[in-house]
Chain A
Amino acid sequence: MADLVFWVLSGVAVASGVAVFSVDSMARATYALAASFVAVGLALLLFDLQFLGVITVLMMIMEMAIMAIYMIMFMGMNPALMPMSMVHDKRWAMAAAAGTFVVLAAGAVLVPWPDRAGDPADDLTAAVGEAIMGDKMLVMLTVSPVLFATIVAALVLALPSGRYARLGDHLGRRTAPARDPEGAGR
């Protein structure tokens, strides 16, 4: 049963990965990529990593739902509302993709995988976290809020309708005309 689920999910992941480059619509390409990631996330459930599997599905769908907006907004001359090709520079792209696949697949197949020593931990999610992060856990926990604060700060500074653009150097002023009035003032 687990074998069957694995092969079906792998098939879906690879097929929708191929679809990303062979469809002619930005919306289809984005959601094909989402489907590919979801299949990989569900495959994680086969390792009994329930939390990681479900959270991968959550993150990938959320990310692709937002990504679709940007892809359609910025890709191509005709903001991706018309059919368009998903590949550029076909020959080199093909070579790079095939080369990467061969290297990664060869690694997975040729590496001498160790036999299991000891029993799996009770809480596999915590064990994976420890194994990957180890003594860097504190650093990672600190870095993520700093990164997030940086993103928010950059947005606040860059936003055309934000207060820095509207008030200039006079942040002490209480009011200034809104560039893009909201609601009743519109």
Chain B
Amino acid sequence: MTEANSHVLAPTPRAARQSIMSTVLHNPVGLGALIVLACVVLLSIFAPLFAPFSPTEVRIESINAPMGGEFLLGGDGVGRDILSRLVFAGRNTLIGALIAVGVAMTGGVISGLLAGYFGKFFDSLASWMANVLMAMPSMILLLALFKALGSSMFMAMVVFGVLITPGFFRLVRGLVINVKNELYVDAARVSGLSNSRIIGRHILLVVRAPVVIQTAVVAGVAIVLQSGLEFLGLGDPSLPTWGGMLQDAFANIYVSPTAIIWPGSAIAITVASLVLLGNAIRDGFQRVDTGPAKRRQKRGAPSSPTEPASSAEVVEDDPNVLLSLRNVGVGYSAGETTKEVVRGINLQVHRGEVLGLVGESGSGKTQTAFSILGLLAPGGHVTRGSIIFDGKEISNLPAPAMRALRGKRIAYVPQEPMSNLDPSFRIGDQLTEPLRAVLGLSKKQATEKALALLARVGIPNPQRTFDAYPHEISGGMAQRVLIAGAISCEPDLLIADEVTTALDVTIQAEVLDLLRELQRELSMAVILVTHNFGVVADLCDRVAVMQNGQIIETNTALELFANPTHPYTQMLLSSTLEDSVPRDLVVANQGAR
């Protein structure tokens, strides 16, 4: 136990715990947007300090004055300083946007939280109201409002805030409904925490990020809409705003063509910074969640120090060997460094034999399987060594050749049967399509063959399953369907990746029986990737045990289970519980002693 514990307590590399703020600041776009916004906000707040003139001071001689005179950016149509008005207008425009965003966010977040968390009556009511608000044409409504209530831009922004509340409401409600079913929320409930505490501690944390992003974008929209209304002449003429300035400049565009640039750029720069800041925050959250992005490496061009030998040199001497891995490494590139997850393994699969590839999670067994299939995730590539299939090097095959090989000679059955069937197509379509594409069968022939295959894998009513959608069949059935698809081309090699892990134990037994029968019938070689020693014992002729990307022991199944030589194999085998003594007997024995 002590030795075992030391393994558990091995220090985990402390992940760099960057805050969102620092990731945004390290993103040049985010930093730029933030600086621009800060300047705009500061200029607006301290407008009286920066503006050289009062925004309402009129000088007759400066009507439509050009740039560079007494008024730095020229004068407007009434003879006011454009620069001063621009600075003061920022104030009013930003306050207007703030009102709209504040109203929308407060209303939307609170109602979204309540509707998502408590559901039921309030949810129905709030969702209905949100739908009504969304159905309203906001521009027309605002225009009508000006007619009814007079020209108060701030009032209009309150109404606009209400009109865009559904955006926040739907966002928050959707997020809350997802989080509500997270196990940690259940655990908090079981701990007896109150609802308000659960919402405050667990749910708000999740909602926070998307709301911040949405706020940045909505603020931009609010500025544009507000300016649009003022451009139409609906604002309060006594208050300087960017939209109002735009209107004035537009009216005098033939006299003073440059005046329109300043309010226009102010709007464009502010809105663009808001949107870019929103993007930067979103990227920041994603980076914190997933770590640094992996760079995609060009496939088929491994940056290996040891070049794989060309196919001419490596004719396999033993014709009985179907697949041979020699010193194969698989690596994932992140920036300049490559992390090897499979570190130089040697493996041979003979024709018609079942090889078990066993190991715990992270041992590299699935990566090994994917490297044979040429299906490594983006960023992954074979770093060294060679993979020889039926006498040919396949680790550097171009994609089309690899695809042809995968369809006909190497087949694959994945772990999660359900996620490997497209939910929007019938089972039959998904089976016949590859048959027609790979084997060139007609539609009728393909249908017949698919039905025969379904019958072959033990599906009681093939026609019904053929016509069914994936959600209409059980997980065990789905796995049989995938096996049927894999054997349709009578492959030489079947790679089965944890095929029974997602299945119930009684279904697992049936699927294992099926695999055994099919393997004998088609005399194909099988690589069975699994963590379950029971499954290995049931099916495999030979076993390779993997740990930390290396194969530490290979032997026949009989020998390996009887005499495991490597300490890790011994530890794994002793961890299996199948032979453990029932607890009540343990207790009884302790009592007797």
Q: Does B associate with A?
A: no
| Interface residues of B, Cβ cutoff 8 Å to A | none
